[in-house]
Amino acid sequence: MKVQDFNSQGLADTLWAMAKTSRVRPEVFASLCWAAAAKVQDFNMQEIANTMCAMTTTSRVLPEVCDSLC
At 16-55, the pLDDT tens digits run 999 999 778 899 999 999 999 999 999 999 999 999 999 9
CA 67 centroid distance within chain:
13
Q: Is the pLDDT of residue 4 over 90?
A: no
Give the global pTM.
0.88
Range of the domain at 42: 3-69
Q: How many domains does the chain have?
A: 1
User: What residues contact residue 16 under an 8 Å CB cut-off, 6+ apart?
Assistant: 50, 51, 53, 54
Residue 3 has pLDDT above 90, yes or no: no
pLDDT at 2: 84
